[in-house]
Amino acid sequence: MEQFTRADSEQGLTPEEIRAALLRSLEGRTVTKALIIPPDFTRFHSNAGFITNVYYHELIRRGAEVDILPALGTHVPVTEEQAAAMFGDIPYERFIPHDWRRDVIRLGEVPASYLEEITGGLWHDPVSVEINRRVMDESYDLILSVGQVVPHEVIGMSNHAKNLFVGVGGSDMINKSHMVGAVYGMERMMGRDHTPVRKIFDYGMEHFLKDRPIEFVLTVTTAPGGDIRTHGLFIGDTRRVLEEAVALSQEKNIDFVETGIKKCVVYLDPSEFKTTWLGNKAVYRTRMAIADGGELIVLAPGVHRFGEDLEVDRLIRKYGYKGRLHTLEEFEKPENQDLRDNMGAAAHLIHGSSDGRFTITYAVRDISGEEIEGVGFQAADYDETVKKYDPAKLRYGYNTLPGGEEIYFIPNPALGLWINRERF
């Protein structure tokens, strides 16, 4: 049964309202064993931590066994400290790390003919549909896929089936879906439903998971000043749950500026962003708002390497964020098998470049300027840069500095999408 709960005020739903909606979603169910699939710590502001905690304790109270499988994709496993901060008092041993290379089973494939159709002939290969084996384990009589719908660079709008096929999916789906999005063009997709990548996941749901007891629990949130506000909670097993959440997220998470931003300053919370793999949301989410010849300054005090794992870190260092055409040229060279074997990394390199349209400066503490410049960015010292652009003193949106310089400040790029209205 579908259940849509929207906040009456900009302060969002109260914890009591959220809890009541979650308990209603369990009414009439007999659950002996449940699997909860929430996002990892990189989606801290989704409010999925609180939701997972409520479900866990209520299901345990009813006598069910509960496992938690964070939707890591290719991210590093959730640490005990992160689990406590995000999910509260759930015992850490209940969290199962997803191994996207070895812990999946193959369900089938999305055929090449369908990929050609939905991409307008830009992609010609099939995509293997793999998923963590626990999703197909018949002993689970309830699977709760929890997460946030928000504009996304790969798929257009995040979550729903993406939480399954990428979050706890296998390498072929992760790599090819990212590459399909990069080849099709993120600016044709961001902030929109029914993109080619979304259609891949819809196909997978319809053909391979429609008989599994999966319930989606989707939030739409903002977090001004770090305070999570849940504007909507959408629960059910249909695609309409996604569509209702998308409509609200387009209202709450897309910010239009009236003209291109000449200088944009983005702050990356060090507890959330430790790599450019994640930190490049500063690039993805602002690129549609920055003017030609503009400048993006990324304040990244916690970023200490490029990739989430050592192999991806190596690929970023080798090939760099040097533009779509450059990456595709390297991708096609026979000697660069390592890049073709990791299409997700190739797509990330495309997404993380401005294609020379604006400059990107990373202000960091723990990576050398030479390393930053080696991957195609400009480099700056964090402690020196924040003397001029202090995130504690800047307010969200346009700021005029003491010397008269105008900048646009974003305190967390993960929570929205910024678009120049003149070009949309």
pLDDT digits (tens, 9 = 90+) for 2-41: 999 999 999 999 999 999 999 999 999 999 999 999 999 9
Q: Are residues 50 and 170 in the same domain?
A: yes
Q: What is residue 225's predicted lDDT score, i.e. its pLDDT?
A: 77
C-beta pairs of 83-91 under 8 Å, 24+ apart in sequence: 83/41, 85/41, 85/44, 85/49, 85/271, 86/41, 86/44, 86/48, 86/49, 87/38, 87/49, 87/52, 87/53, 87/56, 88/49, 88/50, 88/53, 89/53, 90/52, 90/53, 90/56
Cα torsion through 297, 301, 305, 308, rounded to 10 = -100
- How far, rounded to the nearest angstrom, does the alpha carbon of residue 189 sit from its chain's CA centroid? 14
**How many residues does the structure list for the chain?**
424
How many Cα atoms occupy the beta-carbon half-sphere of 340 within 13 Å? 9
Q: Are residues 263 and 238 in the same domain?
A: no
Q: What is residue 73's predicted lDDT score, i.e. its pLDDT?
A: 83
| pTM of structure | 0.86
**pLDDT score of 291 more than 80:** yes
Q: Report which DSSP code applies to 78.
A: P
Element (H, E) at 252: helix 239-252
Percent of the chain clearing pLDDT 70 (strictly above): 100
Q: Are residues 307 and 391 in the same domain?
A: yes
Q: Are residues 204 and 281 in the same domain?
A: no
Q: Are residues 292 and 408 in the same domain?
A: yes
Q: Are residues 342 and 382 in the same domain?
A: yes
Q: What is the pLDDT of residues 315-356, one digit of tens each?
A: 999 999 999 899 999 999 999 999 998 888 999 999 999 999
Q: Are residues 192 and 260 in the same domain?
A: no
Q: Are residues 124 and 11 in the same domain?
A: yes
Domain that holds residue 72: 3-252
The domain total for the chain is 2
Over residues 146-158, the mean pLDDT reads 94
Q: Report which DSSP code applies to 208.
A: I
Q: What is residue 102's predicted lDDT score, i.e. its pLDDT?
A: 87
